[in-house]
Structure 1
Amino acid sequence: MTQPKLPVTCPSCATALSVTQLSCGHCGTAVSGNYTLPLLLQLSEDDLQFVLQFFMTGGSLKEMASQMGNSYPTVRNKLDDIIERINQLNKKSNP
């Protein structure tokens, strides 16, 4: 059973959500504040899976293409798209 993905946008207005509290399930300690989500958590589930596979293949796009049954250019384009999304998210976080 897969765990639900952490929501990153408001279901009412689609604005980016922020973390306001973290708590320890063991001792009950809670930390409150207003923290932005890390960039990678703001990616879609598909993009996160791609990044994980990229990491697990040691960054070999050739190996990824073989595992995915896709051509090298297709996998390279997917990586370029993810890099662009991360750059856009980074610009929003650091105007």
Structure 2
Amino acid sequence: MKFPLHCPACNHEMTVVKLHCESCHTEVAGKFGLPLFLKLEPDEQDFIMQFLLDSGSLKEMANKMGKSYPTVRNKLDELIDKIKLLKD
């Protein structure tokens, strides 16, 4: 199941308000921001994970994805721009 980033009713960004321990059933309530990585779409998270697993080799990623190097490089540049916006 995809982690919901936006409200299904109004499309506003969601926040985490409760954490629960499955072991002892302790709960912590509050307003918690999502880590930056979780604010990315699942396909963007997958891209970053693959980038790390391929030791940052865009050439290797392009080969595995069956895409050209410039296409993969453009995807990385788009992600960098998005992360810069989310970081601020």
Please indicate the TM-score interval, normalised by the length of the shorter structure: over 0.9
- 4+ residue runs over 2 A deviation: none
Q: Which amino acid aligns with 1:21?
A: K
TM-score (structure 1 length as normaliser):
0.87
SS at match of 1:86: helix
Task: Please tell me the root mean square deviation across aligned C-alpha atoms, in Å.
Answer: 0.9
Matched, 1:42 2:39: yes
What residue ranges of structure 2 are gaps of 5+ in the alignment?
none
TM-score (structure 2 length as normaliser):
0.94
Residue 56 of structure 2 corresponds to 59
Q: Which amino acid aligns with 2:17?
A: T
The CA distance in 2 between the partners of 1:48 and 1:56, in whole Å, is 12
Residue 88 of structure 1 corresponds to 85
- Cα offset for 1:31? 1.0
What residue ranges of structure 1 are gaps of 5+ in the alignment?
none
The CA distance in 2 between the partners of 1:39 and 1:13, in whole Å, is 22
Residue 76 of structure 1 corresponds to 73
Q: Which amino acid aligns with 1:57?
A: D
The CA distance in 2 between the partners of 1:10 and 1:86, in whole Å, is 21
Task: Calculate percent identity across the aligned residue pairs.
Answer: 49
- Cα offset for 1:79? 0.4
